[in-house]
Amino acid sequence: MQTDIPLKRLTMLRAADLLPLFGLPYAELLAVETLELPANAARLDNVLRVRRPAGQEYLHVIEWQGYRDPALLWRMTGYLAWMGQREPGATIAGTIVYLTRECDIGDTLTQSIDGQAVHTWHIPCVRLWEQDAAAALAAGSLGLVVLSPLMRNAAVEMIEQAATLLLQQAPQPQQADLLSILGVFAERIMTIERFAQFVGKERLMESRLLDYLVAEKTAAIRAKSHAEGRAEGQAEGRAEGRAEGRAEGRAEGQVEGERQQAREYILDTLVTRLSPTVQDYRRLERALQAIEDLPRLNEIFRHALLAADFDAFESAAFPPPATQ
């Protein structure tokens, strides 16, 4: 289950709803910030700027963890240390939110020499599967409602109840994205076809979640291209003609990289969801390779996410030309 983009988008849209989950029930959300990390040009997306009832403002890093990573505690400690260097006078805290039991590597990082602990770092964590889905729905907080499929005792009826709450209460500009995120989290309980039928496929097609996914991949491609271009420039010198040629090549490579990423998403999604035959897969692969319009590829990807079967996907994504 790919959860990075849905969780980042959920945090951006409904962070105030999630404060109790993070252990901040009385804090006031001031902003959700994205910080550029050094060296590898990665980003730290889920940084909350909050204010305590007594007036103290501080930064709180949220790390959503959807896979098992033995280096997670080190990485989180590194984030906090980097932010402390960036703002030495700031108070900085953090919380890890484990999505599944398999992701959980604990909350304490200990370094020992000859059996004696010399350094110990504790990072608060939340284990979503220990939260109660019915309680999240009863609370009516839309951020928690969207997360409810990942919680204890979640069931199909609760997914439908969660979708109904979003349809009734979510602000219109947020509704399609929140429904799409709910559908991603609900896949282990409810098929995307049934979910789309319940909420209306047209609403899901309005979601900008794919746009954020493409933007994320585009940023990664550009960062890689920038690093490669810088290394090449150092190796080959700074001749103006060469620099101009490399810049043009990088720009073209970025665009083609975005297209190729979209093609791969389409094919991976179809293999996972619709199990096309080898012949159908190869035929579609050739068809996608001929498409250079990125918005068109994004549209096809949406159909791959929502189609009930491969025939329905082909009919929607590649409709026959209208007869005269």
Residue with tokens 């579609």: 284
What's the CA gap between 110 and 121, in Å, rounded?
A: 6
Buried b (16+ CB within 10 A) or exposed e, 279-296: ebeeebeeebeeeeeeee
Residue 147: its pLDDT value, please?
A: 97
- Bridge partners of 96, per DSSP, are 63, 125
**Phi/psi at 96 (5° precision):** -100, 130
C-alpha distance from residue 221 to each of 16, 25, 192, 225, 250 (Å):
32, 38, 29, 6, 10
Residue 276: its pLDDT value, please?
A: 81
Q: Which one, of 194, 3, 167, 179, lies nearest residue 99 by Cα?
A: 3
Please, what sign has the CA dihedral across residues 196, 170, 23, 71? positive
What's the CA gap between 77 and 150, in Å, rounded?
A: 26
Query: What pTM was computed for the model?
Result: 0.72
Which of helix, strand or coil describes residue 212?
helix
DSSP summary character for residue 117: E
Secondary-structure breakdown of the chain: helix, strand, coil percentages, each rounded to the nearest 5:
60, 15, 25
Which of helix, strand or coil describes residue 110?
strand
Residue with tokens 């200990």: 110
Per-residue pLDDT of the chain (324 residues; tens, 9 = 90+): 567 788 988 999 999 999 999 999 999 999 999 887 765 546 787 999 999 999 999 999 999 998 899 999 999 999 999 999 989 999 999 999 999 999 999 999 999 999 999 999 999 999 999 999 999 999 999 999 999 999 999 999 999 999 999 999 999 999 999 998 998 899 889 887 788 889 987 787 777 775 665 555 555 555 555 555 555 555 555 555 555 555 565 666 667 778 888 888 888 888 878 878 777 888 898 899 999 998 899 889 888 888 888 888 999 999 887 665
Residue with tokens 């082909």: 314
**Phi/psi at 132 (5° precision):** -100, 125
Residue 271: its pLDDT value, please?
A: 80
Q: Which one, of 147, 116, 109, 110, lies nearest residue 131 by Cα?
A: 147
Q: Are 29 and 19 in contact (CB under 8 A)?
A: yes
What's the CA gap between 157 and 278, in Å, rounded?
A: 37
Torsion of CA 264, 265, 269, 271, to 10 degrees: 10
**Which helix H or strand E contains 45, and what residues bound it?**
strand 43-51
Helices 172-186 and 209-236: crossing angle, nearest 10°? 80
The strand pair at 116-122 and 125-127 is best described as: unpaired
Residue 39: its pLDDT value, please?
A: 55
